Amino acid sequence: MITSISKYIKQNILRNTTVILAFSGGPDSVYLFYQIKKVQKLHPFTVILAHFNHNLRGKDSIKDEQFCKRFANKNKVIIEIGSANIKNKKGNTEDIARKYRYKFLNKVKEKYDAEFIVTAHHLDDNIETFLMNFMRGTGLKGLSAMQVKSLNILRPLLGVSKKEILSYLKKYSIRFCIDKTNFDESYTRNNVRKNIIPLLRKIQPSFDKIFLRNWKTMSQTQKFIDKNAETWIKKNMKKKYEINLKKFNNTEQFLQTLIIRKLFYLYHKTTDNLSKNTVLRAQKIINEEKTGKKTPFGQKTILIINSNSFEIRNTNKIKKILLKKLQIPGETQYIHGKILLKILNKVPKELSNGIFLDYLKCKFPLYIRGKKNGDTFKNIGMRGRQKLQDFFVNKKIPSQKRDTIPIIIDKTNNIIAIGNEAISDSCKITRHTKQIISISFKPPLENKQK
């Protein structure tokens, strides 16, 4: 087993780089430290110890922290200490402790510009994770359990059993801390460790070998399909975090879930808050293809359906355009830019570079504002009035962009122009037009009047 640990470390940790070892002072992290020391003799790199005190065990937590400090001093390595009062936090204690611990570990990693966070998760931990995920009903990713390398985490002990670790420490009389909470069977993981795994090993003496073989197969399968999802996204994501609906819905249902998970990770850089229900809700509204439908997709994020695509975007509210009188002629500042209005005495040759209205048909003063519920206007060539909402849908303007389009109204609150998209039939230019109001925007709006 020592050979495989050495192989994992040499394959992943470059010479003369730095890694952070998550160090609890327990048997696993102490054992890993000594295995790393062996590799360092021929493959030099720096190890920084990082100990996080969860303050869950009173005096015992303090004793463990002190042990870790003495251990670091004895072995002449740097140690970073972090802490939090997890007891006072609401929610699942194990999940909260993990989040705080990894937040601390990542801060230490950034401080030392380290290559990896190295953890002492071993074979028994991996079996526990597999069984826990199986009982929760997770998919293949959950059944693949932990990986030797995932993102910035390295776990070189996944092929080493707890029995081998304790045997090594006993052989060389190496001291370590004991966390008494690991024996508390009120925690599901401890119950699995103490009762279920020993029973499986009793029923099948070769259980560890069988698990390792199947774990490797499932891991390879997961990597293969993850690669397919990544390739699909690279090929089909033309705009950042925006995907064509038809192309997505023409893929296999299973691949769809992987694409959604991968998009979540690409956007948030983590899958910590990604639940199975989040994936299923997203998949459901994408398959329905109903414009305007949306669903939460992580913290302050939604997945929203457009007319022919879906996209992921932040839910921070776009600042609305407030009512403001326009200077004619002149320049008027608004929340997203400026509007320049000029008075012309003849029709310009090029009509695609702005909005042009018949001066004498306008009812002054003119104003700019944002869209409102119930807005209607009469488009050129239309007999009746059209809802502004229907206009946006027909023009396939994404809902998140509609609040940024300036609406120009006259003194009667009648809409006479919608950004660069359209003008009212009541103010259109004809061959009888004597004076023209030219309206342009800075910065230029994306969509031009047709």
The answer on 258 and 199 residing in a single domain is no
Last residue of a domain, one of 208, 225, 253: 208
The answer on 434 and 335 residing in a single domain is yes
Percent share of the chain, pLDDT over 70: 96
Last residue of a domain, one of 314, 335, 361: 314
What band does 271 get if pLDDT is binned at 50, 70 and 90?
A: confident
The span from the CA of 338 to the CA of 325, in Å, is 13
φ and ψ at 230, to 5 degrees?
A: -60, -45
**365 contact partners, CB below 8 Å, separation of at least 6:** 325, 326, 328, 410, 411
What is the pLDDT at residue 141?
Answer: 73
Contact 257, 283 (CB under 8 A): yes
The answer on 142 and 8 residing in a single domain is yes
Segment 421-442 shows an average pLDDT of 91
Total domains, the chain: 3
Question: Of the ranges 207-216, 258-267, 333-342, 395-404, which one carries the lowest mean pLDDT score?
Answer: 395-404
pLDDT above 70 (res 36): yes
| AA letter at 133 | N
Q: Provide the residue range defining the domain that includes 157.
A: 2-208
The answer on 187 and 79 residing in a single domain is yes
Question: Of the ranges 83-87, 136-140, 205-209, which one carries the lowest mean pLDDT score?
Answer: 136-140
Segment 231-257 shows an average pLDDT of 92
- Domain presence at residue 405: yes
pLDDT above 70 (res 52): yes
The answer on 272 and 332 residing in a single domain is no
Supply the pTM of this predicted model. 0.64
Cis before residue 205, ω within 30 degrees of 0? no
The answer on 86 and 9 residing in a single domain is yes
Q: Residue 52's domain is classified under what CATH number? A: 3.40.50.620
pLDDT above 60 (res 1): no
The answer on 253 and 183 residing in a single domain is no
Closest by CA position to 360, among listed 298, 429, 421: 429
What is the pLDDT at residue 3?
Answer: 55
The span from the CA of 397 to the CA of 402, in Å, is 7
What is the pLDDT at residue 180?
Answer: 76
Segment 249-253 shows an average pLDDT of 95
Segment 21-46 shows an average pLDDT of 95
Segment 242-262 shows an average pLDDT of 94
What band does 240 get if pLDDT is binned at 50, 70 and 90?
A: confident
The span from the CA of 429 to the CA of 357, in Å, is 6
Q: Which two tokens stand for residue 262?
A: 């991968």
What is the pLDDT at residue 448?
Answer: 44
- Domain presence at residue 288: yes
The answer on 371 and 300 residing in a single domain is no
Segment 143-148 shows an average pLDDT of 80
The answer on 256 and 162 residing in a single domain is no
Which of 93-107, 179-193, 356-370 is most confident?
356-370
The span from the CA of 401 to the CA of 419, in Å, is 12
- Domain presence at residue 369: yes
φ and ψ at 196, to 5 degrees?
A: -80, -50
The span from the CA of 289 to the CA of 246, in Å, is 9
What is the pLDDT at residue 108?
Answer: 96
- Domain presence at residue 449: no
What band does 87 get if pLDDT is binned at 50, 70 and 90?
A: confident
Segment 402-413 shows an average pLDDT of 93
The answer on 415 and 438 residing in a single domain is yes
pLDDT above 60 (res 110): yes
What band does 317 get if pLDDT is binned at 50, 70 and 90?
A: low
Contact 245, 303 (CB under 8 A): no
Q: Residue 305's domain is classified under what CATH number? A: 3.30.465.60
What band does 352 get if pLDDT is binned at 50, 70 and 90?
A: low
What is the rounded average pLDDT for all residues in the chain? Answer: 89
- Domain presence at residue 392: yes
Burial letters for 175-187: b for 16+ Cβ neighbours within 10 Å, e otherwise?
A: ebbebeeeeeeee
Q: Residue 384's domain is classified under what CATH number? A: 3.50.40.10
Segment 280-299 shows an average pLDDT of 92
Cis before residue 27, ω within 30 degrees of 0? no
The span from the CA of 154 to the CA of 117, in Å, is 6
Sign for the pseudo-dihedral over CA of 397, 400, 403, 406: negative
Tell me the three state secondary structure of residue 150.
Answer: strand
What is the pLDDT at residue 275?
Answer: 86
pLDDT above 90 (res 393): no
pLDDT above 60 (res 449): no
The answer on 299 and 429 residing in a single domain is no
Last residue of a domain, one of 190, 208, 226: 208
Which of 70-84, 297-311, 318-332 is most confident?
70-84
Q: What is the gyration radius of the CA atoms in the chain, in angstroms? A: 31
Q: pLDDT: is 64 or 448 the higher one?
A: 64
Q: Which two tokens stand for residue 86?
A: 């997890």
The answer on 24 and 171 residing in a single domain is yes
Burial letters for 96-117: b for 16+ Cβ neighbours within 10 Å, e otherwise?
A: bbebbbbebbeebbeeeebbbb
What DSSP string runs through 275-315? -HHHHHHHHHHHHHT-TT-EEE-STTEEEEE-SSEEEEEE-
Closest by CA position to 418, among listed 404, 429, 430, 438: 404
Burial letters for 412-421: b for 16+ Cβ neighbours within 10 Å, e otherwise?
A: eebbbbbbbb
What band does 186 get if pLDDT is binned at 50, 70 and 90?
A: low
